[in-house]
Amino acid sequence: MQARVNGTLIRLTVNDITGCRVDAIVNAANSGLMGGGGVDGAIHRAGGPSILAECRRIVAKSGSLPAGQAVVTGGGNLPARWVVHTVGPVWHGGGRGEDELLRDAYLNSLRLAVDHGARSVAFPSISTGAYRFPLEPASGIALAAVRDFPALDALDEVVFVLFHPGDLDVYRQTWPGVFPGVELVPGTGKTR
Ligand code: APR
């Protein structure tokens, strides 16, 4: 499914993000940046050791990455040129600033991707796996962050790469509340 918001194509798709042919894919990492399970593990496996080596250098220089922040490495063996590593919040019930931290993770990832010259960015559903953020509010925060990103016109395409068809259904249900009057239509866009 996809929709055009001003000049930017926003797509919702079910796929493995490691195969995504965009300029930058976003990784749902942890603060240590040493890899893990879920999408993080998949990105490091597919991208090869150069990504971990860069992550180690970043942590050695700047320390661990707080929730809501983002850093960039190269894409190693991935089709994407860059990986933006961000840390979503662990869900503790919603009273520990989780919503704001998740929004920051999306906005800081977009900012970093644009600063590197990316024109297309793919996101997984940050924090909704091991970190247990409920998918429905998380999908609204993800879509609203893209809607509100001040430099959205610098991007040709933003892709939400969901891993399960049911997750795509939730994003589709959330869509009209975030983009009223903007219709999602079937479409494959440029990237797989
Ligand atoms: N492509 C796209 N999405 C994927 C992929 C993939 N290859 N693999 C998993 N996912 C999906 C999951 O199904 C989930 O919907 O990514 C979403 C985020 O789940 P997690 O990867 O568990 O990320 P998160 O909830 O942010 O937890 C981060 O998990 O593995 C660790 O190192 C990571 O500690 C960090 C924590």
Q: What is the pLDDT of residue 189?
A: 56
Q: Which domain holds residue 111?
A: 2-178
Mean pLDDT throughout 73-86? Answer: 98
pLDDT at 190: 52
- Max Cα separation, the chain? 47
Return the CATH number at 81: 3.40.220.10
In a domain, 63, yes or no: yes
189 inside domain: no
CA distances from 77 to 44, 48, 62, 80 (A): 10, 6, 25, 8
Is residue 40 flagged as an active site residue?
Answer: yes
Q: Give the residue-averaged pLDDT of 120-142.
A: 98
pLDDT band at 96 (very low <50, low <70, confident <90, very high): very high
Other CB atoms within 10 A of residue 185 CB: 8
> To the nearest whole percent, how much of the chain has pLDDT over 70?
97
What is the edge-to-edge ordering of all strands in the sheet holding 157-162? 2-5, 8-14, 157-162, 120-123, 24-29, 82-87, 70-74
Whether 191 maps to a domain, the answer reads no
In a domain, 11, yes or no: yes
Determine which residue's CA is closest to atom 8 belonging to ligand 1: 39
- Number of domains observed in the structure of the chain: 1
Q: Is the pLDDT of residue 131 over 60?
A: yes
HSE-CB for 159 with a 13 A CA cutoff: 29
Q: Are 28 and 88 in contact (CB under 8 A)?
A: yes
Split at pLDDT 50, 70, 90, the class of 77 is very high
The answer as to whether 190 is a domain residue is: no
Residue range 114-127, pLDDT digits in tens: 999 999 999 999 99
Of the residues 23, 40, 104, 167, which is catalytic?
A: 40
- Domain assignment of residue 183, yes or no: no
For residue 121, being part of any structural domain is answered with: yes
Using an 8 Å Cβ cutoff, are 66 and 6 in contact?
no
Neighbours of 158 (CB within 10 A): 24
Protein residue with least CA distance to atom 10, ligand 1: 39
Is 80 exceeded by the pLDDT of residue 188? no
Give CA–CA dist 125/111, Å, rounded.
Answer: 18
Mutate to test the pocket of ligand 1, among 15, 31, 34, 39 (most ligand atoms within 8 A of CB): 39
pLDDT the model gives residue 187: 84
Residue 185 lies in a domain: no
Residue 192's pLDDT is 46
